[in-house]
Amino acid sequence: MPLLQLPKITSEKSLNRRAEKRRDAAFIDAAFNAAGTRVLALPDLRVPIYPTPDRAPPVLRWLSVPEVQALAAPLDFAFLGEDETGTAVFACNVPPYHRDFAGAEAALHPLVDLRSLALQTVSHETELLIAAEARALLGWHAHNRCCSRCGGPLHIIEGGWCRTCAGCGQSTWPRTDPAVIMLITRGDRALLGHELRFPDKFYSTLAGYVEPGDDIEHAVRREVKEESGIDVGAVEYVASQPWPFPHSLMIGCWGDALTEAITIDRTELTDARWFDRAELASMLAFTHPDGLFVPPRISMAHTLIRAFVDGVLPRA
């Protein structure tokens, strides 16, 4: 059981994915052709929303199968699952090279990227969860069109959850990249860093991908040592969160620093420093005297930092 409950990009409120039916071609065809089936069409993997007044929560723009086919054809569809009423939900990408892309893009305006949508308060949490599933799955399709073994074209099967090569029989499935994200503490201070790609004055917890041969604890210690020069002793799992940008699983951890002197990897970070709880609280509240701030509420980093400020981390 996770120590902390995070703002979710997926949760129990998401779709019933009906994974047991993905290989049932008759079921997928019937679901696709059902009168009430809903489709989320993503031009260039961007999410269509209805125009709303300023500050109003965005609402996803759903289409029927005939409406999508009138916008652009042919398209590849992926079966996402069924909603609470049993209605089938599909998604499709309209790639920029598609002959009908310009028309579909104009017809579905406004479009937003998923990261921007995640930072807003959507009208229904379930809609964000569906958009995240669609973006991650369709993004995988967009980057896996050819066989890694023979170079032949890959064909979609299993309702969009597998691609297979007719030439050599090689199959591939949607990927998820595990990454550790860790709050490292020493006494009443926590370690945050500023990456090269970060906005000015933005600090976050350290993070990195799990490499071949790593377990979670080793990945935490290795990444922290590589990026900051800090040695880490005890490591504890805190919580996990899917992060479909494009297809990561964030494994949140706490680590106990054994050393204090920082030596940063200049290819990864421009700065790393220790912050006490009072300073972190001001960064969370956007009241830091130097304008420093931390990631938004939807992120694992924010939750880890908040837990430290509130005394939840480290555990007694």
pLDDT in tens, the chain (316 residues): 456 555 544 555 679 999 999 999 999 999 999 999 999 999 999 999 987 777 677 889 999 999 999 999 999 999 999 999 999 999 999 999 999 999 999 999 999 998 888 776 555 667 888 998 999 999 999 999 999 999 999 999 999 999 999 999 999 999 999 999 999 999 999 999 999 999 999 999 999 999 999 999 999 999 999 999 999 999 999 999 888 888 899 999 999 999 999 999 999 999 999 999 999 999 999 999 999 999 988 889 999 999 999 999 998 6
| 163 neighbors 144 (Cβ within 8 angstroms) | yes
- Degrees, nearest 5: CA angle 104-107-109: 105
**Tokens representing residue 122 in the block:** 């959507």
User: Where are the alpha helices (H) located in 16-151, listed in sequence order?
Assistant: 25-33, 65-71, 101-107, 114-118, 125-142
CA–CA distance, 40 with 111 (Å, rounded to integer): 12
Comparing CA positions, the residue from 27, 6, 31 lying closest to residue 243 is: 6
The alpha carbon dihedral of 243, 246, 249, 253 has a sign of negative
| CA end-to-end distance (rounded Å), the chain | 17
| 272 neighbors 247 (Cβ within 8 angstroms) | no
Other beta carbons within 10 Å of 98: 18
User: Where are the alpha helices (H) located in 156-212, listed in sequence order?
Assistant: none
Q: What is the pLDDT, as a whole number, of residue 3?
A: 60
CA–CA distance, 217 with 29 (Å, rounded to integer): 45
Q: What is the pLDDT, as a whole number, of residue 169?
A: 96
Burial class (CB in 10 A: 0-12, 13-18, 19+), 113: middle
pTM for the full predicted model: 0.86
Q: What is the pLDDT, as a whole number, of residue 250?
A: 95
Comparing CA positions, the residue from 49, 45, 81 lying closest to residue 63 is: 49
CA–CA distance, 177 with 66 (Å, rounded to integer): 35
CA–CA distance, 121 with 100 (Å, rounded to integer): 31
Longest Cα pair distance anywhere in the chain, in angstroms?
64
Beta bridge partners of 241: 250
CA–CA distance, 4 with 299 (Å, rounded to integer): 13
